[in-house]
Amino acid sequence: MFDTVRVKKNLITRIVGENFIFLKETESTNKYALRLAREGAPEGTVVCAGYQTRGKGRFDRQWFANPGENMLLSIILRPEMLIDTVQKITLASAVILIEAIQSFLKSRKMIIPEVEVKWPNDLLIDDKKLAGILAESILRDKQVETLIIGFGLNINSNSETMPEQIKSIATSLTEITKITIDIEDFISHFLNLFEKRYLELERNNYSHVISDWKRHCKQFGDEIKIKTADGTTQCIFHDIDENGVLIYKSANGEFKTLYSGEILKV
Ligand code: BTN
């Protein structure tokens, strides 16, 4: 059974997780958090679930995870920023999650895998998906009133127990380390780091996000396929700009930008 008291006991945060809600089962922690945010829940509220009946992924996909095996949580933030800057928080969230995974495993003397980030914020190990992040915002004019950042991290699921839909494309921390990980301990560790980094980002005006993100990305120069509502194009992953927008080189050598979309390996 999930031990909320232990998670809270190990938190050294002032904002994040101060209001920590654990739900044995819910449709989607992002959906639940959005509702709470609209009702006025404070910044830093965390909604965590043991199981999601319809976890939300990007592009209306479903996020699959068996009960009790993984980290499924959403954080309510109320950053004062324009919508254009939201991408920076989501890129930063991927970097924070990588740092949390690596520092957690290091502190427990476990194998530290190389975790890569795939634009904009998928976490991969050996080309298999370890974690996904879904940011959803409530806007007032062009100002972000609330940002919900949802994290799905595969922790203790293994290739035998994983849902059929993701078996061949996903991995987990236990697959890599061969050890069962204490989910409550990891969640406290992650939330402690998340608050620390979030406050630093707000103080430094998000100045290091792009360079930090690039250190974890191995896609530069790769041939990729871009999938958008208009179809699929083959191109080269060139760079990301100062706002995290993808810059790619199209087949005719032109440099173009992509704000949102999915990229696939060729
Ligand atoms: C993706 O890679 O498509 C993003 C997946 C995000 C999944 C997490 S699980 C917790 C939170 N609640 C949701 O409904 N989705 C996010």
Task: Give per-residue pLDDT as tens, 62-107.
Answer: 999 999 999 999 999 999 888 888 899 999 999 999 999 999 999 9
Distance between CA atoms of residues 219 and 119, nearest Å? 8
Centre of ligand 1 from the C-alpha of residue 73, in Å:
8
Cα-to-chain-centroid distance, residue 42? 21
Question: Does the CA dihedral 183-28-82-245 come out positive or negative?
Answer: positive
The residue to mutate among 35, 47, 56, 73, having the most atoms of ligand 1 within 8 angstroms of its beta carbon, is 56
Whether 38 and 12 have beta carbons less than 8 Å apart is answered as no
Estimate to the nearest angstrom the gap between the alpha carbon of 100 and the chain centroid.
Answer: 12
Quick check: 218 pLDDT over 90? yes
Query: Which residues sit with their C-beta closer than 6 Å to ligand 1?
Result: 28-30, 52, 55-58, 61, 63, 72-74, 122, 132-134, 150-152
Output the CA 255–ligand 1 centroid distance in Å. Answer: 31
Pairing of strands 46-49, 20-23: parallel
pLDDT, position 231: 86
Q: At residue 2, what is the residue type?
A: F
Model confidence, pTM: 0.96
- 96 membership: H or E segment, kind and range: helix 86-107
Confidence at residue 246, expressed as pLDDT on a 0 to 100 scale: 96
pLDDT in tens, 156-187: 998 888 888 998 999 999 999 999 999 999 99
Q: Closest ligand 1 atom to the C-alpha of 55?
A: 14
